[in-house]
Structure 1
Amino acid sequence: MPTTTSRFSGAKNRDNTDRILKRDYQTPAYSATIALAIAAVNAFTYINPTTLTGAVTFTANVDTPLIGDELVFLLDSDATTRTATFGTGFASAGSLAVTTAKYAYIKFIFNGAVWQETGRTVTA
């Protein structure tokens, strides 16, 4: 019979059942290709890279996440509209134009095989 007794000592989060949502916040530096390492499971991962100064392609691993894990991007560009593409590990509705002086928000959920897009918006 499984136990719910904590295997971890000294930590605030002593849950070993993976029922508690874990949060991760990543701020990768701009690069033409940004490979994301999603390490947490049962997680909500927030990606907020530095200001885009050129086109960018994001890739992500699919071996660690659990079905239902969420991945959210908040993107902004410099004085030029920039294109964000979601490559390996993603199933998206296509590239996203990150308009000058606006923020782009795009959300994915892990479906067991890839990060599936669930919504996007470009706002002021």
Structure 2
Amino acid sequence: MPNNPRFTPGPNQDNTFRTVTQDYKAPAYAASIKITASQQDTLVVPATLTGAVTFTADTTLPFIGDKMRILLKADATSRVATFGTGFSSAGTLTLAISKEGYIEFIFNGTAWVEMGRALTA
């Protein structure tokens, strides 16, 4: 599965995005959080970070082109998010005190590749 796209150009295939599948995950804060994304678009909103966090991702269920967005919020201390196994990121994401951050990935068949990130001022 991971090396196949979710859509094909064959007859009777829906490429209009009318059948987009979405998932929402809200894991509790933990020092290590594993994300298993099995839908075309996955939004991950963990509980407020009360310490550093390392994310890992399963790479056996997603299809090429699947997207994952992660929304993060720091508590009253600056927090660092690291993206480990399953991710190809531009590095850690540091959240300032009580601020939020956003990072987006696309699956390339092997890993979740970072597409962009943003931090609130």
TM range (shorter): 0.7 to 0.9
Pair 1:106 & 2:103 matched: yes
Letter of the 2:73 partner, please give it: D
Count how many residue pairs are aligned between Structure 1 and Structure 2. Answer: 110
Partner residue of 2:21?
22
Letter of the 2:36 partner, please give it: A
TM-score normalised to structure 1 length? 0.82
TM-score normalised to structure 2 length? 0.84
Distance 1:86 1:80 in 2: 20
Q: Which aligned pairs between 1:89-104 and structure 2 lie closer than 5 A? A: 89-104=86-101
Distance 1:3 1:111 in 2: 24
Letter of the 1:104 partner, please give it: G
After TM superposition, give the deviation of residue 65 of structure 1 in Å. 0.5
Instruction: Give percent identity, aligned residues only.
Output: 49
Q: Which aligned pairs between 1:1-124 and structure 2 lie closer than 5 A? A: 20-40=19-39, 43-124=40-121
Distance 1:78 1:109 in 2: 28
Distance 1:101 1:33 in 2: 20
Gaps of 5+ in 2: 1-9
> Which structure carries more relative contact order (alpha carbon 8 Å, separation 6+)?
2
- The structure that has the greater radius of gyration is 1
After TM superposition, give the deviation of residue 37 of structure 1 in Å. 1.4
Gaps of 5+ in 1: 5-15
RMSD: 1.8
After TM superposition, give the deviation of residue 38 of structure 1 in Å. 1.4
Letter of the 1:79 partner, please give it: A
Please list every run of at least 4 consecutive aligned residues from structure 1 whose deviation after the TM superposition is greater than 3 angstroms: 16-19
